[in-house]
């Protein structure tokens, strides 16, 4: 295989590196470590974190792209497919390659609509034909329920066993660090007597593991969430959409952060004409309705791509470029509120005694911003980044619906909803594609919101003193 | 006060010019009229004549900023920038790329938008304030905690779900209201009911949570303790003292979006097939009609700036401490 | 002895989590007689405000009353239902709070806020309510009450708002008024007005007062009995006369000794070592033991018991062992007296000379923001500070003293004037050369919490200046320099590796001093460095500043409103009023023989502590005018009690009273 780095992949890994670097830095700074400790005390936040970690793992696995090696007799000159797949695709190979003709309901064994079949004696008839893969192993229709039950029980048992193993490792590790006895360590975890709420973490992990394991095992034999119009597994689509959601939720803020932080602090700290210019800049930008600005930008990108189609080698790259561009333009529309907030905060900080003392000590403006202002507005930046995330994930769906979101070929929840919407009028209704997208999106957004609430409570001293 | 408003009015002009310039750059410099024509005509191998005639039909055949061939004022007047961008300042929106009068369309389509947006906003605010007050009354109890969790759950649901779910439940299953469409006059009500209800419900989560924060912030203030020390009932403390103060950020927060109401909601209007400005914008976007998008961008910024000005004015009305100079 | 109007018995209130509570009020008992004023005296965090809130049952959400009884007019308040308690609040017991700026509802007219109280308790409505409210406003001295009825709180000054709060509290003729630090946020001249008002109202209505205060002067002015609180307990309960004559508890005794005044100039102030213990600890013996200078072995093992008579009681082992008289703390402190500060080298040469310093902030209006006026924060100040001496700049809030201090340091660009530092005009210097020069003059701020970057290690903060000036210092940071600085200001050696929030207010102020002296300045502008601190901590800081001056010959520009600190620390005083200096001279002359009517009034407004002789008091009427539109002629004339026609005409020149003692007042024109 030959590795490929798409533009968004590069950014995802940069972001990951930044996040790891920041957490190493934060663990050394007491004032940064303490609020995270507060978050650790919140069961809700820790459960949400487990869910987020699951999504994140999927997203990262789905960001390692490569051209798979083609099977060719010649050992020396390996040939590579033009197709770009990710590690996650490879893991879900069984889902990816088991397409049907068209719609089929979850766990169905037959297609959703009748099709014209020419049977042996030159007779034509409309029948619900048998699926190629879904439940293909079944001899008798009646066995289905029992088979599902057996498969999922077995999968759940496997998940539970691995969970027990994992739990014991965690408890042992804690006992080793705390120099506590086995009994004591176990008791603390079970009674939620730990500083970090391990009980919540482990219970959520159990739920996630069971669901993941059961769905995976079932998906080997059935289409757990059905198939869409062209017969692609909906489960596969929904999982692939995770990366798109995460990329939009995080890259957008990454793109806007430097502008917002730098300009906001400069406007507040220096005041005067610098302030005037920056204020003018962000008032102008924020006065344009965001949707229209995005629409305009995407339309223009479309025109550009139409006219420069030859320069992009593959559809995947083209879709990736559009995703990146969407993040950029979303960033342009969303940096203004953080910038305004930071400006106000710096304006206040400029008059605070310790900044005045630094000025009296002859510290240069650059160092004052770096040492005194930046560390004292970082919590605002962090809160904003985390709060914005869920909004951006939701926005993707809406934008894709208006057709100014990601490329129609990109897997995204917005695209899933958009294409499923047209099937709402069908009788009986095709509900699984829509529901799958909404549930996957809802889980991510809810976890992000619950987590961001905890982060805000922990980092915002005003709220902390209030409670 | 008057001087302040006049000054703010003058401040708005450079911002609008900035918006105008930005859209001009986006639409005419980055993607040239030739590109637009080519993608409008839909074929990559269109003849140069076809492009030229399309441009001439839509007034894109002029130079961008400076027209040396024209005489007098025409050097500047007979350009795309003047014809297509500066004209917006006198609300001359011109014709859409498909040949319709945009100004007329806007005047026609703002009414359905308003008919949805205004009741949604009013009902929503009333409902949210009521819920938030109830939660604030039970602050630091389990009612408070679970209400907040419920709010977070509600606001984590995509707005698309509210719309699709609402349509499915109320129209398709229960047949209470038509699923989409619009009518004029009194008949409009049955079409408006569903979008308004869905709009209100979709906003309950975030609205209630936000107002709750405002109320709780106010209940921490010193004057609340003074009011209690006077022996006032908790309900009076909450509904008179706290509410009066909390209404200041709530009202001024609403005033910002008031002018933008008549631009309509993109999603709602297109789902319910309401012929408002929101669906107009979407149609413009989807048919890649740049003239409509340009007009709506200008109108949107104008409304935003108007909203900012209204906010400042409303502060002087509701907050006795603020007087504009 | 009459029936007590309020009797509190073993009141115990806790805050925070139940498994790890803060014992804010821990078994407090006292009584207030009809018409009497009882003062709860104590430093911040001792639980005095919490006691008051517990009596009103208005504790914050995280607080609860654990046990005890509060009997008011025959009712046990802690057993009343919430609605029964509401009938007491605002009618039987009223309360006024410390911050007049935030304790009134900003969006309701003050008339409405008073009427509300009348209507709640006595169903007085409409015209009758309005009349009664205006009468109340009139009674507390609000000018034109009819007009004031329709106005909002922000349209009044702090002193006026506190009067309004009092009017509101008096609405239903309460039998007890709880005044929680009623004058702490006010200037001394305004404080004198408000204290007068409370005293007058009390004698007129026969109301009892529970006064909460940290200020010995205020307590002396108002109280009949005093309860001294320490760490959640009352440790001494005595009549005013005996308390101020001879405090019994070692803590009270130390409090008095740590008060700065002019007679202690030549020695260090007595300090109480250590800090108030955390109220989360469960105490074994007496809570003051660790900081006490006369501990017995018993003290750390067993809770003390009350001893004494009806007049004065004390909660201390010293007296249970030997009886009240035998243990009279006869020997006055002997060990802590130090030599008079010997002056360093080069004392007396001029270090700083300020000429005609003006700092004006423009006011704009109209469409194009034309400048239509100026706030004349500093309006022509002349100052001179000799080497090794302290110049105090005294004035009430808003007089421009802080702005002047920052202007001298070029933290605010002066509009006009010259600032010669060792002969060099700082105003003329370019940005780069000014930055080079900054190591010579430093500043210490009032708020110890705002003056430290919360995200910076103390060690880094201290050497920040050194890194800027001493290129050799940049790498590596020299530990020994930090250590010696910490030692110099009396902080433990491990402080460098900690963050500011781990330190108390007094310790932070020491860090701020270390940061300033690190660059070896010749002048430090001290902007009210002790006014946010408790009395005992203030003494530590003042001692430190005085020591530094003695050892390094540093000069101070000491900005303050506290006359006693001036008396203790300063060599020269300049009194500021509305941006100008009205009198200036050596400290003993200005304080003992003040010339300007404003100085006289300011000095006489300070509550006196000696019980026997009361000074001739000059009360100032009215508020300080706005510096945007100062009065014509002499700025002080509308409030002056010796006003002459000339005063309204033109601003007086400076007149020399004695060598170095000058004043700007027409009264002395003839003597010239």
Nearest 10 degrees: Cα torsion C665, C666, C670, C672: 40
User: Quick check: A363 contacting C, CB < 8 Å?
Assistant: yes
Q: Do A307 and B38 touch (CB under 8 A)?
A: yes
- Could you tell me if A180 and A240 lie in one domain? no
pLDDT tier, C341 (very low <50, low <70, confident <90, very high otherwise): very low
Q: Kindly state the helix (H) or strand (E) to which residue C555 belongs, with its residue range.
A: strand C555-560
* Dist. CA A86–CA C372, nearest whole Å: 68
Per-residue model confidence as pLDDT tens digits over C141-155: 888 899 999 999 988
pLDDT tier, A432 (very low <50, low <70, confident <90, very high otherwise): confident
Q: Which SS3 state, helix, strand or coil, does residue A58 take?
A: helix
Which residues 248-307 on chain A approach chain B with CB closer than 8 angstroms? 280, 283-284, 286-289, 291-293, 295-297, 299-300, 302-304, 306-307
Q: Given the DSSP bridges, would you call strands A124-127 and C390-394 parallel, antiparallel or unpaired?
A: unpaired
Asked if the model's pLDDT at residue B291 lies above 90, the reply is no
A225 to each of A128, A237, A436, B97, how far by Cα in Å? Answer: 19, 10, 7, 44
pLDDT at position A372, please?
A: 93
**In A, which residues are within 8 Å of B281 by CB distance?**
291-292, 295
* d(CA B71, nearest CA chain A) in Å: 33
The residue-averaged pLDDT of A348-353 equals: 90
pLDDT tier, B28 (very low <50, low <70, confident <90, very high otherwise): confident
* Dist. CA A413–CA B161, nearest whole Å: 12
> What residue in B sits closest to C88 (Cα-Cα)?
B231
**Mean pLDDT estimate for chain A:** 83
CB contact at 8 A, C336 and C264: no
Q: Do C86 and B223 touch (CB under 8 A)?
A: no
Nearest to C411 among A354, A356, A372 (CB): A356
- Could you tell me if A205 and A133 lie in one domain? yes
> What residue in B sits closest to A439 (Cα-Cα)?
B157
Asked if the model's pLDDT at residue B169 lies above 60, the reply is yes
Asked if the model's pLDDT at residue B91 lies above 80, the reply is no
Q: Do B325 and C95 touch (CB under 8 A)?
A: no
Q: Given the DSSP bridges, would you call strands A115-118 and A124-127 parallel, antiparallel or unpaired?
A: antiparallel
Per-residue model confidence as pLDDT tens digits over A249-297: 988 888 888 889 999 999 999 988 999 999 999 989 888 888 888 887 8
User: Quick check: B145 contacting C, CB < 8 Å?
Assistant: no
Q: Do A362 and C445 touch (CB under 8 A)?
A: no
- Could you tell me if A249 and A159 lie in one domain? no
Per-residue model confidence as pLDDT tens digits over C486-545: 988 888 888 888 888 888 888 899 999 999 999 889 999 999 998 888 888 889 899 999
| Residue A149 within a domain | yes
The residue-averaged pLDDT of C268-273 equals: 84
The residue-averaged pLDDT of A217-242 equals: 84
Which residues 302-331 on chain A approach chain B with CB closer than 8 angstroms? 302-304, 306-307, 309
pLDDT tier, C441 (very low <50, low <70, confident <90, very high otherwise): very high
Residue ranges of the alpha helices (H) in C172-239?
188-205, 216-222
Asked if the model's pLDDT at residue A427 lies above 70, the reply is no
> What residue in A sits closest to B161 (Cα-Cα)?
A438
User: Quick check: B43 contacting C, CB < 8 Å?
Assistant: no
pLDDT at position B45, please?
A: 66
pLDDT at position C583, please?
A: 93
Rank A192-196, B117-121, B256-260, B265-269 by mean pLDDT and report only the highest: B117-121
- Could you tell me if A264 and A193 lie in one domain? no
**CATH number of the domain located at residue range(s) C350-671 in this protein:** 3.40.50.300
Residue owning tokens 């207030």 = C32
User: Quick check: B158 contacting A, CB < 8 Å?
Assistant: yes
Taking 3-state DSSP, the helix, strand and coil percentages for chain B, each rounded to the nearest 5, stand at 75, 0, 25
**In A, which residues are within 8 Å of B290 by CB distance?**
296, 299
> What residue in A sits closest to B304 (Cα-Cα)?
A287
* Dist. CA C13–CA C62, nearest whole Å: 11
User: How crowded is the C-beta side of C372, counted as CA atoms within 13 Å?
Assistant: 9
> Regarding predicted confidence, which is higher, B171 or C435?
C435
> Regarding predicted confidence, which is higher, B315 or C508?
C508
The token duo for C32 is 């207030």
pLDDT tier, C336 (very low <50, low <70, confident <90, very high otherwise): very low
The token duo for B265 is 């909601």
Residue owning tokens 């410099």 = B29
pLDDT tier, A245 (very low <50, low <70, confident <90, very high otherwise): very high
Per-residue model confidence as pLDDT tens digits over B208-228: 999 998 998 898 889 999 999
- Could you tell me if A249 and A202 lie in one domain? no
Asked if the model's pLDDT at residue B131 lies above 90, the reply is yes
Which residues 3-62 on chain A approach chain B with CB closer than 8 angstroms? 44
- Expressed as residue numbers, the domain containing A126 is 101-219
pLDDT at position C227, please?
A: 95
**In B, which residues are within 8 Å of C171 by CB distance?**
230
Per-residue model confidence as pLDDT tens digits over B34-53: 776 776 676 556 777 777 77
Per-residue model confidence as pLDDT tens digits over C28-50: 999 999 989 999 999 888 889 99
pLDDT above 90 coverage of chain C, percent: 38
**Mean pLDDT estimate for chain C:** 86
Quote the pTM value: 0.85
pLDDT at position B290, please?
A: 77
Asked if the model's pLDDT at residue B187 lies above 90, the reply is no
pLDDT at position C339, please?
A: 39
- Could you tell me if A289 and A192 lie in one domain? no
Closest CA to C320 of C285, C360, C370: C285
* Dist. CA C351–CA C344, nearest whole Å: 14
* d(CA B140, nearest CA chain C) in Å: 8
User: Quick check: A34 contacting C, CB < 8 Å?
Assistant: no
If one counts the domains in chain B, the total is: 1
* d(CA C258, nearest CA chain A) in Å: 28
CB contact at 8 A, C8 and C70: yes
Please spell the DSSP secondary structure of B35-69, one letter per residue.
HHHHHHHT-TT--HHHHHHHHHHHT--S-SS--TT
- Could you tell me if A304 and A281 lie in one domain? yes
Where do the domains of chain C lie? 6-92+172-334, 103-171, 350-671
Task: Tell me the residues of C at the B interface, defined by beta carbons under 8 Å apart.
Answer: 56, 58, 61, 86-91, 94-95, 97, 99, 102-108, 116-117, 120-121, 152, 154, 165, 168-169, 171, 364-369
Asked if the model's pLDDT at residue B59 lies above 80, the reply is no
Nearest to B241 among C105, C152, C165 (CB): C105
CB contact at 8 A, C232 and C26: yes
* d(CA B303, nearest CA chain A) in Å: 8
- Could you tell me if A316 and A369 lie in one domain? yes
User: Quick check: B305 contacting A, CB < 8 Å?
Assistant: yes
Nearest to C58 among B7, B225, B321 (CB): B225
pLDDT tier, B103 (very low <50, low <70, confident <90, very high otherwise): confident
* d(CA A355, nearest CA chain C) in Å: 8
Asked if the model's pLDDT at residue B184 lies above 90, the reply is no
* d(CA A199, nearest CA chain C) in Å: 22
* Dist. CA A401–CA C314, nearest whole Å: 79
> What residue in A sits closest to B19 (Cα-Cα)?
A284
pLDDT at position C332, please?
A: 44
Which of A97-101, C104-108, C262-266 is predicted least confidently? A97-101
The residue-averaged pLDDT of A323-338 equals: 88
* Dist. CA B226–CA C96, nearest whole Å: 8
pLDDT at position C74, please?
A: 86
Asked if the model's pLDDT at residue C331 lies above 50, the reply is no
pLDDT at position C328, please?
A: 46
Rank B50-64, C430-444, C622-636 by mean pLDDT and report only the highest: C430-444
- Expressed as residue numbers, the domain containing B242 is 102-318
The residue-averaged pLDDT of A18-34 equals: 82
Supply the Cα-derived Rg of chain C in whole angstroms.
Answer: 27
Per-residue model confidence as pLDDT tens digits over A154-174: 999 999 999 999 988 888 888
Q: Do C464 and A371 touch (CB under 8 A)?
A: yes
Closest CA to B298 of B281, B273, B317: B281
User: How crowded is the C-beta side of B30, counted as CA atoms within 13 Å?
Assistant: 17
Which of A337-341, A456-460, C6-10, C70-74 is predicted least confidently? A456-460
pLDDT at position C337, please?
A: 40
Which own/partner contact pairs does C480-486 have at CB distance under 8 Å and 24+ positions apart? C481/C518, C485/C514, C485/C517, C485/C518, C486/C462, C486/C514
Chain A neighbours (≥3 Cβ pairs under 8 A) are: B, C
> Regarding predicted confidence, which is higher, A82 or C359?
C359
Q: Do C102 and B230 touch (CB under 8 A)?
A: no
| Residue B194 within a domain | yes
- Could you tell me if A270 and A199 lie in one domain? no
> What residue in C sits closest to B242 (Cα-Cα)?
C105
* ipTM, 2 dp: 0.84
| Residue B82 within a domain | no
Q: Do A356 and C452 touch (CB under 8 A)?
A: no
Asked if the model's pLDDT at residue C465 lies above 70, the reply is yes
* Dist. CA C459–CA C471, nearest whole Å: 18
Which residues 13-42 on chain B approach chain A with CB closer than 8 angstroms? 14-15, 18-19, 22-23, 26-27, 30-31, 35-36, 38-39
Q: Do C88 and B222 touch (CB under 8 A)?
A: no
Interhelix angle B188-219/B159-166, rounded to 10 degrees, is: 140
Q: Do A356 and C443 touch (CB under 8 A)?
A: yes
pLDDT at position A464, please?
A: 40
CATH of residue A342: 1.10.3720.10
Asked if the model's pLDDT at residue C335 lies above 50, the reply is no
**In B, which residues are within 8 Å of C106 by CB distance?**
223, 245, 319-321
Nearest to A401 among B22, B160, B216 (CB): B160
Q: Do C438 and A362 touch (CB under 8 A)?
A: yes
User: Quick check: B155 contacting A, CB < 8 Å?
Assistant: yes
pLDDT tier, C205 (very low <50, low <70, confident <90, very high otherwise): confident
The residue-averaged pLDDT of C381-402 equals: 90
Q: Which SS3 state, helix, strand or coil, does residue A63 take?
A: coil
CB contact at 8 A, C277 and C290: yes
Asked if the model's pLDDT at residue C343 lies above 80, the reply is no
Closest CA to C408 of C356, C373, C446: C356
**In C, which residues are within 8 Å of A346 by CB distance?**
none
Domain C6-92+172-334 in CATH 3.40.50.300: yes
Q: Do A356 and C406 touch (CB under 8 A)?
A: yes
Determine which of B138, B139, B223, B229 to mutate to test the interface with C (most C C-beta atoms within 10 Å). Answer: B229
CATH of residue B176: 1.10.3720.10
Count Cβ atoms below 10 Å from residue A402 Cβ, excluding itself.
20
Count Cβ atoms below 10 Å from residue A436 Cβ, excluding itself.
25
Which of A305-309, B265-269, C300-304, C593-597 is predicted least confidently? A305-309
């Amino acid at each position: 295989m030959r590795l490929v780095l798409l533009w968004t992949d590069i950014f995802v890994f940069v972001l990951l590196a930044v996040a790891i670097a920041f957490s190493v830095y934060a663990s050394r700074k007491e004032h940064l470590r303490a609020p995270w400790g507060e978050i650790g005390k919140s069961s809700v936040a820790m459960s949400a974190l487990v869910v987020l970690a699951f999504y994140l793992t999927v997203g990262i696995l789905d960001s390692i792209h490569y051209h798979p090696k083609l099977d060719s007799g010649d050992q020396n000159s390996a040939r590579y497919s033009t197709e770009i797949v990710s590690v996650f695709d490879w893991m879900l190979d069984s889902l990816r390659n088991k397409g049907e003709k068209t719609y089929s309901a979850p766990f169905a064994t037959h297609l959703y609509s009748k099709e014209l079949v020419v049977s042996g004696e030159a007779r034509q008839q409309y029948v619900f034909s048998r699926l190629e893969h879904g439940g293909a192993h079944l001899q008798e229709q009646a066995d289905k329920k029992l088979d599902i039950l057996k498969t999922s029980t077995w999968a759940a048992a496997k998940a539970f066993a691995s969970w027990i193993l994992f739990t014991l490792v965690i408890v042992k590790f804690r006992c080793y660090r705390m120099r506590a006895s086995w009994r004591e360590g176990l008791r603390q975890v079970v009674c939620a007597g730990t500083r970090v709420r391990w009980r919540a973490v482990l219970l959520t992990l159990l739920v996630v593991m069971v669901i993941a394991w059961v769905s995976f095992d079932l998906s080997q034999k059935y289409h757990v969430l059905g198939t869409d119009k062209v017969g692609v597994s909906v489960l596969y689509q929904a999982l692939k959409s995770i990366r798109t959601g995460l990329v939009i939720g995080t890259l957008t803020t990454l793109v806007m952060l430097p502008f917002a932080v730098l300009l906001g602090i400069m406007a507040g700290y220096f005041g005067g004409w610098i302030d005037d210019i920056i204020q003018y800049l962000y008032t102008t930008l924020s006065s344009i309705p965001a949707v229209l600005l995005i629409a305009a930008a995407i339309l223009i990108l479309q025109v550009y791509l139409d006219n420069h189609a030859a320069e992009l080698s593959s559809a995947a790259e083209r879709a990736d470029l559009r995703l990146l561009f969407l993040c950029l333009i979303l960033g342009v529309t969303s940096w203004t509120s953080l910038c305004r907030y930071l400006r106000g905060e710096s304006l206040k900080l400029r008059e605070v005694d310790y900044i005045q003392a630094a000025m009296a000590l002859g510290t240069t403006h650059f160092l004052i911003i770096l040492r005194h202002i930046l560390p004292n507005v970082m919590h605002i930046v962090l809160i904003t980044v985390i709060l914005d995330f869920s909004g951006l994930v939701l926005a993707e769906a809406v934008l894709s619906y208006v057709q100014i979101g990601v490329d129609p070929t990109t897997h995204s929840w917005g695209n899933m909803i958009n294409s499923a919407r047209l099937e709402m009028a069908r009788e009986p209704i095709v509900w699984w594609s829509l529901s799958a997208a909404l549930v996957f999106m809802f889980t991510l957004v809810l976890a992000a919101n619950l987590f961001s609430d905890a982060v805000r409570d922990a980092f915002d001293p005003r709220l902390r003193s209030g409670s | 006060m008057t001087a302040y408003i006049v000054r703010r009015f003058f401040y708005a002009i450079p911002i609008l010019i900035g918006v105008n310039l930005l859209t001009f750059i986006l639409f005419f410099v980055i993607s040239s009229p030739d590109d637009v024509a080519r993608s409008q005509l839909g074929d990559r191998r269109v003849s140069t004549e076809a492009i030229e005639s399309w441009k001439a039909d839509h007034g894109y055949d002029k130079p961008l900023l400076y027209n040396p061939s024209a005489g007098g004022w025409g050097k500047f007047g007979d350009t795309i920038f003047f014809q297509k961008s500066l004209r917006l300042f006198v609300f001359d929106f011109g014709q859409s790329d498909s040949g319709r009068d945009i100004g007329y369309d806007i005047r026609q389509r703002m009414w359905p938008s308003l008919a949805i947006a205004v009741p949604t906003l009013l009902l929503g605010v009333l409902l949210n304030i009521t819920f938030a007050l109830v939660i604030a009354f039970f602050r630091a109890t389990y009612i408070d905690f679970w209400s907040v969790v419920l709010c977070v759950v509600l606001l984590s649901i995509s707005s698309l779900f509210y719309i699709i779910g609402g349509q499915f439940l109320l129209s398709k299953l229960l047949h209470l209201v038509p699923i989409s469409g619009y009518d004029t006059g009194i008949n409009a009500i049955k079409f408006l009911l569903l979008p308004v209800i869905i709009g209100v419900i979709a906003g309950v989560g975030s609205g209630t949570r936000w107002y709750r924060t405002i109320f709780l912030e106010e209940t921490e203030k010193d004057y609340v303790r003074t009011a209690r020390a006077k022996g006032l009932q908790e309900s009076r403390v909450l509904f008179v003292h706290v509410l009066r103060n909390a209404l200041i950020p709530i009202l001024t927060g609403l005033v910002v979006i008031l002018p933008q109401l008549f631009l309509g909601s993109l999603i709602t209007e297109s789902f319910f097939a309401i012929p408002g400005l929101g669906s107009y914008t979407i149609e413009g976007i989807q048919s890649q009609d740049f003239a409509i998008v340009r007009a709506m961008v200008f109108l949107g910024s104008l409304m935003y700036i108007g909203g900012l000005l209204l906010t400042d004015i409303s502060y002087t009305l509701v907050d006795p401490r603020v007087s504009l100079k | 002895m009459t029936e007590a109007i309020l009797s509190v018995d073993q009141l115990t209130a806790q805050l925070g989590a139940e498994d790890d509570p803060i014992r804010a009020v821990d078994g407090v008992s006292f009584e207030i007689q009809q018409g009497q004023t009882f003062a709860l005296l104590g430093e911040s965090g001792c639980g005095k405000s919490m006691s008051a809130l517990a009596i009103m049952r208005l504790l914050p959400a995280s607080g609860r009353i654990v046990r005890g009884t509060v009997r008011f007019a025959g009712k046990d308040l802690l057993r009343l239902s919430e609605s029964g308690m509401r009938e007491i609040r605002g009618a039987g017991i009223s309360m006024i709070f410390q911050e007049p700026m935030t304790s009134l509802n900003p969006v309701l007219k003050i008339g409405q806020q008073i009427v509300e109280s009348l209507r709640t308790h006595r169903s007085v409505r409409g015209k009758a309510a309005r009349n009664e409210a205006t009468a109340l406003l009139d009674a507390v001295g609000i000018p034109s009450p009819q007009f004031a009825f329709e106005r909002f709180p922000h349209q009044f000054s702090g002193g006026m708002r506190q009067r309004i709060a009092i009017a509101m509290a008096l609405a239903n003729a309460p039998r007890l008024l709880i005044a929680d630090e009623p004058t702490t946020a006010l200037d001394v001249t305004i404080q004198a007005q408000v204290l007068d008002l409370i005293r007058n109202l009390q004698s007129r209505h026969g109301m009892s007062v529970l006064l909460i205060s940290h200020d010995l002067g205020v307590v002396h002015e108002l109280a009949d009995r005093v309860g001294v609180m320490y760490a959640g307990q009352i440790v001494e309960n005595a009549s005013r006369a005996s308390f101020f004559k001879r405090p019994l508890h070692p803590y009270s005794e130390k409090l008095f000794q740590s008060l700065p005044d002019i007679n202690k100039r030549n020695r260090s102030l007595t300090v109480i070592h250590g800090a108030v213990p955390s109220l989360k600890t469960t105490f074994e013996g007496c809570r003051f033991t660790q900081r006490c200078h006369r501990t017995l072995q018993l003290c750390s093992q067993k809770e003390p018991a009350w001893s004494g008579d009806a007049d004065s009681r004390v909660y201390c082992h010293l007296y249970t062992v030997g009886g009240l008289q035998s243990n009279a703390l006869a020997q006055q402190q002997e060990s802590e007296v130090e030599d008079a500060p010997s002056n360093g080298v080069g004392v007396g040469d001029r270090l700083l000379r300020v000429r005609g310093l003006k700092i004006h902030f423009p006011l704009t209006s109209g469409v194009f923001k034309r400048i239509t006026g100026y706030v004349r924060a500093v309006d022509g100040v002349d100052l001179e500070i000799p080497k090794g001496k302290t110049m105090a700049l005294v004035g009430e809030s808003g007089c421009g003293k802080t702005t002047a201090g920052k202007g001298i340091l070029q933290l605010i660009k002066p509009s006009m004037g010259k600032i010669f530092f060792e002969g060099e005009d700082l105003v003329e210097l370019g940005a780069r050369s000014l930055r080079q020069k900054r190591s010579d003059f430093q500043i210490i701020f009032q708020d110890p919490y705002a003056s430290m970057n919360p995200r910076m290690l103390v060690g880094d903060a201290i050497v920040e200046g050194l890194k800027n000036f001493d290129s050799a210092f940049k790498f590596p940071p020299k530990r020994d320099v930090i250590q010696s600085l910490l030692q110099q200001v009396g902080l433990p050696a491990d402080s460098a590796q900690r963050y500011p929030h781990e330190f108390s207010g007094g310790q932070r102020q020491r860090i701020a001093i270390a940061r300033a002296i690190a660059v070896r300045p010749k002048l430090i502008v001290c902007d009210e460095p002790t006014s946010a601190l408790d009395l005992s901590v203030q003494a530590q800081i003042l001692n430190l500043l005085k020591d530094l001056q003695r050892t390094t010959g540093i000069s101070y520009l000491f900005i303050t409103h506290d006359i006693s600190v001036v008396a203790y620390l300063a060599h020269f005083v300049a009194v500021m009023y509305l941006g100008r200096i009205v009198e200036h001279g050596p400290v003993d002359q200005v304080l003992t023989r003040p010339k300007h009517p404003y100085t006289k009034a300011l000095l006489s407004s300070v509550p006196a502590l000696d019980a026997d002789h009361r000074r001739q008091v000059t009360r100032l009427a009215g508020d300080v005018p706005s510096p945007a539109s100062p009065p014509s002629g002499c700025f002080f004339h509308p409030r002056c009690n010796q006003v002459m026609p000339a005063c309204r005409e033109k601003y007086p020149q400076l007149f020399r009273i004695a060598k170095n003692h000058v004043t700007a007042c027409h009264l002395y024109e003839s003597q010239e």
